[in-house]
Every structure is written in structure tokens, then in C-alpha cells.
Chain A
Amino acid sequence: MRKYKYQIPRRLLQTGILFVFFGGNAYGWSVLRGNLSSARVFDTIPLSDPFAVLQSFSAGAVIASDAVTGALVILLFYAVLGGRVFCSWACPVNMVTDLANRLRRLFSLDSVWKSWDIKRATRYWIIFLSVALSVILGVAAFEWISPIGALHRGIIYGFGFGWTLVLMVFLFDLFAVKNGFCGHICPLGGFYSIIGRFGFLRIGYDREKCTSCMKCIEICPEKQVLHMVGRESGAVVSGECVNCGRCIEVCDDDAVNFINIYSNKIHTKCKEG
């Protein structure tokens, strides 16, 4: 069970959020209404996807205060928390891409197929494109094609052909690029990388305990953030870390753990890579 001490709660949270949203639409539950784009908690507290609101602003929309407040609530929450907690604890696409990744590992596909060479920075270019196209076309550009939206809207309100988008992401991750969508393409992930850069909840690494088995690097969906493993003690400072805790689960030496980066002195001395 220790091997899944974060993965089980993550899956419960990811599916639980969708389930409560689904119940909100189908049975009229008031816990959460709406979807991951915008929602209300107990019909009072507004929550909104800050990236979607940013695109709407870029499209020239005058947005009512509810959505703006909601976006600020979410923005603040993830900025304080740190890393891309949204990606690995809330986003349903994470379950799709993790499944693709699991299959890749199960059949050792990485040793057979060479992953396409796509830069991880592609996602920041796509953020730029999302905003630019929103300005030019007057619609929230990424929301128009987002597989994330297709998946959560699909589950809550009905899929239509939306499942094809989700299947595309799955096949892309399975056959084309390892961690392709979440780790390279998704502008929402890129957006949260920037937001979560200075949050407190980070991964700390202890060189003293490490036996350099490199299992953490093997499992990590954002390997570049663990550049200090095997070299020096330190904390993950990159916002690209999704805080999924898989590295902690696979470590047999207790060398990796969640830390509060502002109170933990050992780990504050580190460089960004």
C-alpha cells in the first residue's frame, strides 16, 4: 500500500470531483455545480479556471465579478500550495495519460520506440498561442479545442464526439511521446507551472539517504525537475513538478519527501535547472 499512498488519494480526489459535479447536474446536489471551467461550492463560493478567464479577457470579454473572483480564488490556492497540484490531483486527463504511461512501462515500450523529440517548452509557446489567438479571433482559443474540457464536460454533460479528443491524447502519449500531452503540450499545465513556482509544498531530496537507484527519475513525469538526484541534497524548485508524489512512493530509502520549502532549511539551498 505504501507504494500507492499518494496515488490512491489522488485517484479518489480526481474521480470524486467528477462524481460530485456529475451529481450536481444529474441529481441536483449543491456541493459543487458547474465543471472544472467554472463552478460554485454550495451555491455560494465561486471557482473559475484562471487560464480560461485570462483567455476570455484576451478575447475582449467583459467578465462578471463572479468568474473573476473565482479565478482569483483558484489562482491563490495553487500559488500558495505550489507545483502543478491541479494536474495530478484534480485534472481527469491525468488519469488518461498515466494509463498510457503505465502501458509504456508495462511493455517496456521506451526501449523499442524512440519518443518523438518535442521540447517541454512547447507548452509555453502554446500558452502564447492561446492568448494570441484569443485576441485575434475573439474567443477563448484553447477552451475551444481543450481535451480537458471535452473530458470533464463529457462526463458531466454528455460526450458527443468529445471522446475522440481524449482518445487522441491517450494514443499520442502511448505511441508518440512519453508524457506527451501533460508534459509537453498542455498550456494549462504550463500555466500552473508558472503559478505554482513559489508555493510551499515541494519535493525535498536527501542525498545522504539516497542509494542512486534512480527509480524516482524513472517514474517521474517531469524528469527535468529532479536534476539534483544523485548529486546533491535539495528541493524541487521548478513549477513544472506536478506534486504527484510518485517519486516518494517508489523510493525505498526515504530519500524523497514532501516538504515545506520555506521552513525546511536543508533543502532551501538549491539551484534551478
Chain B
Amino acid sequence: MPERREFLLKTFKSLGLAATGGLAWSGFIEEGRSAPLILRPPGALPEKDFLASCIKCGMCVEACPYDALVLAKPGDSKPVGTPYYTPRTNPCYMCRDIPCVPVCPTGSLDKTLVSEKGEDGELRLNINMAKMGIAVIDREICIAYAGIQCDACYRACPLIDKAITVEYTRNVRTGKHTIQAPVVHSDACTGCGLCERACVTRKASIFVLPKEIAMGQSSERYIKGWDEQDEERMKEATEKVTTQTPRSGRKALDYLNDEL
């Protein structure tokens, strides 16, 4: 066989084998990555950036005094080697010095995300700024919503009266009692999960989910005019958004009469 032809064929073979291996490999990674129900330590970058930068050294796990953080093991169905915690068994206790964050060598846990400027202009750690997740309540199972007095989650909340408040409404079923229902506020909730651990139902009826899973996202056109903060968003809107559908180009009368 001519040398050049042999060389080309060998190169093709190597490329082909590399492609085969690469496809299987990326399939495996995609499979593991598509499990987004994972709660990261405080100060974690957005999941995509976190996965790119976390080097899986476990120094945050070592620093955690409550052993709440663990590294995902093969078989946990989570991105392998990355840190997470499980609120029902061992929640984040919101240490004020946040020992897990400064030890991160890659900045996957970013100090600036859990620090605020003090009066002297210096950055100070503040665990209350953490956004690890958000607690959501199953109102059908929560016994407080059924009219039974229980404020386990409310009492357990480190940001009591900010992240969880109790709302009093009339119990229309009995006609003479109060329903004292816990309500989570997304602006204050850090997702620590102390409420989930405290919940008295067999399977917790208040539980922490990653924010991007549990919360919706509004679009530009829905602005609460009565809310000053929300109205700020109007200033950011640069262009007029018009929805184009197959019908929108035609007159209403035309398409309404189509079916006749």
C-alpha cells in the first residue's frame, strides 16, 4: 500500500475510534449532569459555572464542622466528586464564619457572593446572603395548613420572621379556630434546610429545592406597576416586544371566519 494512503487510513482510524470513545464519554457526562436536584454549599457559583470550575478536592467538606457537606460518590446520581448537602438528614447550620467558602481553591465557592460591605468599606462574610436553595411547602400535607398548631419550621428557621412567617387566617371548617400557616419568603430564604429537618410529617412537607427548579421566571411584559422595584425593570426594557404568530398578521375577522 502506498505510504501516504496508509498514513491517511491510520489517521482516519484513530479519529474514528476517538469519536466513538468521545460520544460514549460525553453521553455518560450528560447523563450525570442532567440531575439538577442538588443543593450546593453557600456562595456556590451558578450550577453551570460551578461544574466547570469545581476541582473536587473536598476542602469545603473538610471545613464543614457539622459534616453536612459531602462529596457526591459514584452511584449517588449526582455530578461525581462535587459537594452537596441533604437537609432532611444534615442541613446547613449557617455558620457565621462560613468555613467552607474561603478554603475553596478554585473560587467555585465565591466569597463575594456571601459578603457585604461594612460601614468601613471592607467586605464581611454574611451567611444570610447565601442562596443555596429555597424552601417550598406542600400545603396539602403540612398539618399547620390543616388547622393543627405546628410551628416547627418557623421556630427552626435561622431567619425567623424574615424567611418564614406565620400567616393567620380564619379556619372556615370549624368556624371558630385560626389556621396558623407558615409562609416562605424567597427574598430572605437561604435554603439552609433547618426547616426541612425540623418538619414533623413523615416525609417533610417543607423542603428545599434549588431556586431555579422551584421558582418561575417572569417575562418583560409582565410588570407590576404598583411595585416600585418591579417598575425599574421597565427602564431596562429596550425594545418593544411583539409576538408573531401565524394569525397575528391577519385581521381578526378573517381568521375568526375561517372555519365557517
Contact B55 A159 (CB under 8 A): no
Contact B52 A59 (CB under 8 A): yes
Contact B75 A139 (CB under 8 A): no
Q: Which chain A residues in 41-73 approach chain B with CB under 8 Å?
A: 46, 48-49, 52-53, 56, 59-64, 66-67, 70
Whether, in the assembled complex, B239 has its beta carbon less than 8 Å from a beta carbon of chain A, the answer is no
CB distance from A71 to the nearest CB of B (A): 9
Classify chain A: how many residues form its interface, as a range: 35 or more
Whether, in the assembled complex, B169 has its beta carbon less than 8 Å from a beta carbon of chain A, the answer is no
CB distance from A119 to the nearest CB of B (A): 8
B contact residues around A25 at 8 Å (CB): 58, 61-62
Contact A34 B53 (CB under 8 A): no
Contact A56 B53 (CB under 8 A): yes
Whether, in the assembled complex, A100 has its beta carbon less than 8 Å from a beta carbon of chain B, the answer is no
Within 8 Å by CB of A159, from B17, B62, B73, B81, lies: B73
Contact B22 A132 (CB under 8 A): yes
Bitwise, A15-36 to B at CB < 8 A (1) or not (0) is 0000000001100100001110
A contact residues around B33 at 8 Å (CB): 137, 139
Are A61 and B74 CB-contacts (below 8 A) given A33-B62, A34-B59, A136-B26?
Answer: no
Whether, in the assembled complex, B21 has its beta carbon less than 8 Å from a beta carbon of chain A, the answer is yes
Whether, in the assembled complex, B256 has its beta carbon less than 8 Å from a beta carbon of chain A, the answer is no
Whether, in the assembled complex, B123 has its beta carbon less than 8 Å from a beta carbon of chain A, the answer is no
Contact A61 B58 (CB under 8 A): no
Q: Is the interface of A mostly helix, strand, loop or mixed?
A: helix
Contact A157 B61 (CB under 8 A): yes
Count B interface residues, CB 8 Å: 39
Interface centre among B53, B62, B106 (most CB of A within 10 A): B106
B contact residues around A162 at 8 Å (CB): 73-75
A contact residues around B79 at 8 Å (CB): 139, 144
B80 and chain A: residue at smallest CB distance: A144
Are A153 and B107 CB-contacts (below 8 A) given A38-B55, A39-B57, A144-B79?
Answer: no
Are A133 and B22 CB-contacts (below 8 A) given A161-B73, A165-B74?
Answer: yes
B contact residues around A160 at 8 Å (CB): 72-76
Other CB < 8 Å A-B pairs besides A25-B61, A150-B80, 13 of them? A34-B105, A35-B57, A38-B59, A38-B105, A49-B55, A60-B52, A61-B49, A66-B105, A67-B107, A137-B29, A143-B55, A153-B73, A157-B61
Chain A interface residues toward B at CB < 8 A = 24-25, 28, 33-35, 37-40, 46, 48-49, 52-53, 56, 59-64, 66-67, 70, 125-126, 128-129, 132-133, 136-141, 143-145, 149-150, 153-154, 156-162, 164-165
